[in-house]
Amino acid sequence: MLSRRWFLASAASAAVAGTCEPAASASGEFDIAIIGAGAAGIAAARRCAPHARTTVLEASDRVGGRCTTDTANFGVPFDRGAQVLVTPEANPIVPLVRNSGLDIYPASPSQRVRIARRYARTGELEDYLGATVRASRAIADAARKGDAAAAGALPKDLGDWQNIVEFTLGPFACGRDLADLSTVDLGRAAEHDNGLLCRQGLGTLIKRLADGLPVQLSSPVSKIDWSERNKIELVTAGGRVYARAVIVTVSTGVLSAGKIAFDPELPKHHLDALSRLPLGSRDRIAFELPGNPLGLAPDEMVFEKAQSNHTAAIVGNVYGTPLCTVEIGGKFAGELAAAGEPAMTAFALDWLTGLYGSDFRKAVGRTLATRWNHHPWTLGAMSAAVPGGAWARAALAEPVHDRIFFAGEATHETLWGTVGGAWATGERAADAVLRKLGRTGEASAEATRPAKTSRRRR
């Protein structure tokens, strides 16, 4: 199983006036207003800005959304959210960053399983991989018969591999337990067999792609009034913005929480779609471990043959640095995050002690844990369709009266939960808006072409 964690800006976009800075006043009139400066918002702005008066309204004080690199806490890049560019052969970001000057390299294929205080032997690894493949095929088969809970599709003979298989396919990959996941949504997801890493951090890369765009930071939108025929009014913290069309790229968590009011209310079809695409819990606990006391290769991943759902994965020596991260997901991760960062750190230390002994503890330096469920402008990690809700992605992507357009990872039917998927939907929405306005934007075949729909597990 591979993680869902797994990069020259165009001259026209780079030439657009404006910088990412706090807005003294976000008022003004535009052709297109884009809400959110995550991957989808940046992609949409790069497409729209050369052809129409465009503004990007970002609620937080930075760009990137759920893709952000922290260099302050450890002195080395630490990606708090998305970390990998998956499916590089079809990823729309990859052609933009090949010559970016950043260190882009293939993700390590190395992956091991820890059984108590030792690593799994070759035969045991084959058993684990076989169990994972059978489980994936069973979910795909069930998806062809109807949209139900993925947990109910699992083979009955997984034995003591059950917990690790459920973790890798559900909480680790999707941020939700299999009991809360749609078989159809999971079966459609594009394979994540390989990926690219950025040594300076994926958030650093995404931020660079936003250079020169007309982004107004610290400008949360509280209301979208689309009651008038010829203009849409957006109420922001810095003033009122008027636009002919709006692209909304904020998370389904923020939309479902009602942080942006719509007047008139969104159509019931869209509201129903939002309710079926909740954000899952996916967090990362980082440890500074100089000297590599766990003996892991750079970016090497280790899973546990778990005895319960209180499990995690390890990524060692991230980007070749002394950082080790413990990856948690699903309901258990949500409960830990709700308990606070000290509880998350305590779990990770105790869990690592059970696998490697306590000697490594004396090497632990600084620590840090993400809590995406409690980030005010995100309220979760990645979208995951509930059983029976796979239809919601396409439904949410439908324009509202050709005036309000939605983009973001939640609206991609095969690359949901990925930065590449979010980017593609931003380009797709931008192309639709430009066509509606009669502007000269050219549709991207790569942005609208469906990705492969098989999911291959490693």
> Based on the domain organization, do 21 and 165 belong to the same domain?
no
Q: Is residue 291 a part of any domain in this protein?
A: yes
Residue type for position 295: G
Amino acid 453: pLDDT: 37
Q: Which of 374, 401, 429 is the last residue of a domain?
A: 374
Say if residue 153 is in the same domain as residue 132. Answer: yes
Residues 302 and 353 in one domain: yes
Measure the CA–CA gap between 443 and 431, rounded to whole angstroms.
5
CA–CA dist 357, 377 (Å, integer): 39
Residues 234 and 116 occupy one common structural domain: no
At 109, is the pLDDT very low, low, confident or very high (cuts 50, 70, 90)?
confident
User: Do 296 and 338 belong together in one domain?
Assistant: yes
Residue with tokens 């997901």: 329
What one-character DSSP code corresponds to residue 171? Answer: I
* The last residue of a domain, from among 352, 374, 396: 374
Which pLDDT belongs to residue 110?
77
Is residue 312 in a domain?
yes
Q: What is the pLDDT of residues 49-83, one digit of tens each?
A: 999 999 999 999 999 999 999 999 999 999 999 99
296 & 369 share domain: yes
Q: Does one domain contain both 214 and 347?
A: no
d(CA 164, CA 423): 31
Structural domain harbouring 259? 11-72+78-84+94-102+199-278+386-448
- Asked if residue 222 lies in contact with residue 236, where contact means CB atoms within 8 angstroms, the answer is yes
Q: What is the spatial distance between Cα 127 and Cα 156, in angstroms, rounded to a whole number?
A: 15
> Token pair 């207003």 is at which residue?
33
Q: What is the CATH number of the domain that holds 352?
A: 3.90.660.10
pLDDT at 107: 93
Residue 5: other Cβ atoms inside 10 A:
29
Does residue 163 lie in a domain region? yes
At 439 the pLDDT is 84
Identity at 135, one-letter amino acid code: A
Predicted confidence at residue 20, as pLDDT, reads 52
Six-digit token pair at 375? 């980030």
Two tokens, residue 84: 């990998």
Residue 272 lies in a domain: yes
CATH code of the domain containing 238: 3.50.50.60
**pLDDT above 50 (res 42):** yes
98 φψ region: left (φ > 0), alpha (ψ -120 to 50), beta (else): alpha
Question: Rounded to the nearest 5°, which phi and psi values hold at 123?
Answer: -65, -35
Pull the structure tokens for residue 262: 């719509």
358 belongs to a structural domain: yes
Q: Based on the fold, state whether residues 296 and 332 are members of the same structural domain.
A: yes
Distance of CA 256 to the CA centre of its chain: 17
Q: Answer whether residue 392 is part of any domain.
A: yes
Structure confidence at residue 26 (pLDDT): 57
pLDDT tens-digit series, residues 325-373: 999 999 999 999 999 999 999 999 999 999 999 999 999 999 999 999 9
Condensed to tens digits (0 to 9), the pLDDT of residues 161-213 reads 999 999 999 999 999 999 999 999 999 998 777 899 999 999 999 999 999 99
Residues 244 and 364 in one domain: no
Return d(Cα 6, Cα 192) in angstroms, integer. 7
Residue 37: its pLDDT value, please? 98
Question: How does pLDDT run across 275-292, given as a tens digit for each residue?
Answer: 999 999 999 999 999 999
Task: Give the model's confidence band at 98: pLDDT under 50 very low, under 70 low, under 90 confident, else very high.
Answer: confident
**Does 456 reside within a domain?**
no
**Assigned token pair, 290:** 């100089």
pLDDT given at position 445: 39
Which of 348, 374, 400 delimits the end of a domain?
Answer: 374
Is residue 150 over pLDDT 50?
yes
Q: Does residue 408 sit in the same domain as residue 439? A: yes
The count of domains in the chain is 2
The SS3 assignment for 423 reads helix
Residue 111 is predicted with a pLDDT of 87
Phi, psi (deg, nearest 5) at residue 350: -65, -40
The reply to whether 154 and 298 lie within a common domain is yes
* C-alpha neighbours within 13 Å on the C-beta side of residue 99: 3
Q: In sequence order, what DSSP letters do the residues of 294-338 get, joined into one string?
A: T-PPTTEEEEE--SSS---EEEESGGGSSEEEEEEEHHHHHHHHH
98 and 18 share one domain: yes
C-alpha to C-alpha distance for 337 and 373, rounded to whole angstroms: 7
Q: Which of 118, 121, 94, 120 minimizes the C-alpha distance to 106?
A: 94
Do the domain assignments include residue 401?
yes
Q: Is 299 left (phi over 0), alpha (psi -120 to 50) or beta?
A: left
b/e per residue 277-312 (b: at least 16 CB within 10 A):
bbbbbbbbbbbbbeeebbebebbbbbbbbbeeebbb
Q: How confident is the model at residue 421 (pLDDT cuts 50, 70, 90)?
A: very high
User: Left, alpha or beta for 124 (phi > 0: left; psi -120 to 50: alpha)?
Assistant: alpha
